[in-house]
A and B are shown apart, each in its own frame.
Chain A
Amino acid sequence: MSETGFIPGERIPPALSVSLARSAKIGQDRTLLGVAVFIASESVFFLAIVLAYLAYRDAGLVTAKANLDVPRTAIFSVALFSSSATTALAARRASRGWLVATIALGTVFLVGQGSEYARLLASGIGPGRELFGTTFFTLTGLHGLHVLVGLVALFALLAAHIRRPSALRPVAFEAVGLYWHFVDAVWVVVFSVVYLGTLL
């Protein structure tokens, strides 16, 4: 009997007891597992919005083909896609420089999306204009908001790292990075469905 009065049980290794988690690391760290569970939940949210877009795709296809600028958006998308690499490097080395690079690339993407919005709105296409406008602005807008939230998180991380690097656990980089990868992955889907879909 131990001092608690309980018969001491064998210790279950966390990796075994958490068979739900994919990588041992995410399965062992509270912060990472929380972000992973959050991302899983967010995926359902985006799935619903993407399905709504697909349900109305045919009705809006003509407007989409006539107005979306695929090559230009592809260039801005490359900025976002490459920011996944820079955030991975930032996490691996706890590096301020790569963090700044990630923020810059994310900002470039948002500026690109903003200019696309400005062009569409100028030609009279807004969220109230046909099903295309409704679904396009909802889907890309919600993704843009997630990028913005990611940028805020990256800024907060950068600020904390500048103030006192020693107080920052390495897992903070990985947690923000995990979310950033997710935002990036959602754009892979959104870009394919919305932009590449007009080429079909």
Chain B
Amino acid sequence: MTAIPLWVRRPAGERVGWLRTVDHKEIGVLYIGMGVAFFAVGGLEALLLRAQLATPESRLVDPLTYDQAFTVHGVTMILLAIVPLLVGFANYLVPLMIGAPDVAYPRLNALSFWLSLVGGIILYFSFLAGGAPDTGWFSYAPLAERSFAPGPGVDYYILGLAVNGAGTIIGAINLTVTILLMRCPGMAISRVPLFVWMTLVTTILILGAYPALTAALVMLFVDRQLGGHFFDPAGGGQAVLWQHLFWFFGHPEVYIMVLPAMGMISEIIPVFSGKPIFGYRFVAGSSVAIAFLSFGVWAHHMFAVGLGEMENAIFSATSMLIAVPTGVKIFNWIATMVGGRIRLTTPMLFAIGFIAMFVIGGLSGVSLAVVPIDLAVTDSYYVVAHLHYVLFGGTMLGVFAGGYYWFPKMTGRLLDEGLGKLHFWATFAGFNLTFLPQHWLGAVGMPRRVFTYAASTGWGPLNLVSTIGAAILAVAMVIFAVNLVRSLRSGEVAGDDPWDAFTLEWATSSPPPPENFPVTPAVSGRRPLWDRKHPELRDPS
């Protein structure tokens, strides 16, 4: 067995502890570790929910526990699993991809990670301190006000999300400045890998969206702790203000969670198709369009509130409009594959899975943008199915694709392809079995966030199928965990460029040295490593 350093190739004898490190690669790994850990916790919470719903009139858990579980599941998956996973990959990869030695502010980078983690710990501390929040991940007022939620759960939600959000905002500032100012010679903004483009758009979304959440949290804090009336109708306030502020954050947050994953597959699909991406400018430009539009669609989460027909019509139109730049990307990826020499490796399988599942989630999203349909299925399992097709079928499959693709860069070893393919197919089957039936459940009227249902509703069989799917998903995750542990110890040695890839991160060792590149690279095209390997086939620059 060869000894390979993990995460960073440091000079012999040099050690920097996890607590002290300011290396972007190790901070990226810390973020990814945090994301994986919270993904496991959030997954266990989901299994608890599915176990409770497997049969009608079940008394496996009590209603309060159920409410806490779905609240914490949502917050965990969105803010403590997916965002850290994506920020982690961005942290590890962006400096490598743009030929930089580190991010713009390495120490601030460590601060943002530790703030993000502490925010998560604060949220979970509520379980020990008198009860977790049980008001749903979007914690609507006036339910979240003191008179309806007297326990400390919502206060931990406020503090945890504010601290976590501060970390995310600081991280976004860092990555923005890194991408704008630290690109190596020749790395024009029109040449950076698409993952970097998507990260830039994402950080700008974070900078525009997260402060609205922080503001809403501050107002809720004033209401709960200082007797304020922002969202308190009895005191003259308006509960709907919370919804406006929350979704002004909440909808861009969806793109914060999906664009980096789109960036990942925009790196992976070209490499395994043996072709450059089809329409680089369109993939990058459509992300900017998505970002711009995403700040103008928030009230599609509020069609049932009664804002008025004109408001609903406008937000319905903008929401449908955002499907256009999203659809552009789907065509770009498919056109990249057409006529390519496709290698169906595990990362490529997950990337193709992303496209298929994201299309389903996107289409159900367009259907929800139609106001009459939304009014019929709002707050039902149809919405649950939709959001999981976007965030699990989309983002998480993308993250797995990225995980298999960049694991060899971070560890020097490949993940096992056999177990990887098993992991993919079990995930694919389990995921669809879990969430496809929920479309039907929602359409026939099963509301979300109910801890049980009567046998006479007839929802039992489909719920059982959904729970069996969740169990298969759990098995798939165990396969992944086994693959991770085995490959870390004894996986096939990868070398610097195991995939015959295009971009700069593969031009340095696996894992890279602390300074990333012994000599600052200079590039003259979008596929610098390809150009070096195949000078006769260089892209015209």
Contacts and interface: CB of A to CB of B under 8 A. Distances in A.
Interface of A: 2-12, 14, 17-18, 20-21, 27-28, 30, 33-34, 37-38, 40-42, 44-45, 48-49, 52, 55-56, 59, 126-128, 130-131, 133-135, 137-138, 142
B112 to A, nearest CB: 12
Nearest to B504: A6
Interface stretch (B62-70, B209-217, B391-399, B434-442): B209-217
Given A18-B180, A131-B237, A142-B218, A34 B104 contact: yes
Given A9-B541, A48-B212, 12 more contacts: A5-B532, A6-B507, A9-B524, A27-B180, A30-B105, A33-B180, A34-B105, A34-B174, A37-B173, A37-B177, A44-B211, A135-B230
Contact of B241 (A3, A8, A27, A52): A52
Nearest to B533: A5
Nearest to B237: A131
A7 B531 contact: yes
B104 A44 contact: no
A138 B222 contact: yes
Interface stretch (B357-365, B382-390, B515-523): B515-523
Nearest to A5: B532
B183 interface: yes
A12 B237 contact: no
Given A55-B241, A56-B237, A131-B229, A11 B186 contact: yes
A130 B188 contact: no
Given A40-B207, A134-B230, A17 B173 contact: no
A34 B177 contact: yes
Interface string B191-214: 000000000000000011111101
Contacts of B216: 48
B528 A30 contact: no
A14 B532 CA distance: 25
Contacts of B212: 44-45, 48
Contact of B229 (A6, A28, A55, A134): A134
B187 interface: yes
B177 to A, nearest CB: 5
A34 B532 contact: no
A4 B521 contact: yes
A128 B227 contact: yes
A48 to B, nearest CB: 4
Contact of B181 (A18, A42, A52, A59): A18
A128 B524 CA distance: 62
Contacts of B535: 7
B371 interface: no
A64 to B, nearest CB: 14
B239 to A, nearest CB: 12
Contacts of A38: 173
Contacts of A133: 228
B238 interface: yes
9 contacts: A6-B522, A9-B185, A30-B104, A44-B211, A45-B214, A127-B227, A130-B229, A131-B236, A138-B230
Nearest 4 CB-CB pairs, A to B? Answer: A9-B186, A128-B227, A48-B215, A45-B211
Given A4-B517, A34-B177, A55 B238 contact: yes
Contact of B186 (A10, A21, A128, A131): A10
B228 A134 contact: yes
B169 A41 contact: yes
B180 A20 contact: yes
B299 to A, nearest CB: 15
Contacts of A128: 226-229
The listed residue with most B CB atoms (<10 A of its CB), out of A9, A14, A33, A56, is: A9
B285 to A, nearest CB: 15
Contacts of A33: 177, 180-181
Given A20-B180, A37-B176, A48-B216, A7 B228 contact: no
B90 to A, nearest CB: 16
Nearest to B532: A5
B376 interface: no
Interface in B487-541: 507, 517, 519-525, 528, 531-532, 535, 538, 541
B225 to A, nearest CB: 9
B235 interface: yes
A67 B228 CA distance: 18
A21 B210 CA distance: 22
A20 B538 CA distance: 30
B143 interface: no
A41 B172 CA distance: 10
A56 B188 contact: no
A44 B295 CA distance: 12
Contacts of A55: 238, 241
Nearest to A128: B227
Given A5-B532, A9-B186, A48-B216, A42 B211 contact: yes
A30 B215 CA distance: 27
B471 interface: no
B189 interface: yes
Contacts of B525: 9
B22 to A, nearest CB: 15
Nearest to B184: A9
Nearest to B232: A134
Contact of B218 (A9, A10, A138): A138
A59 B181 CA distance: 47
B185 A41 contact: no
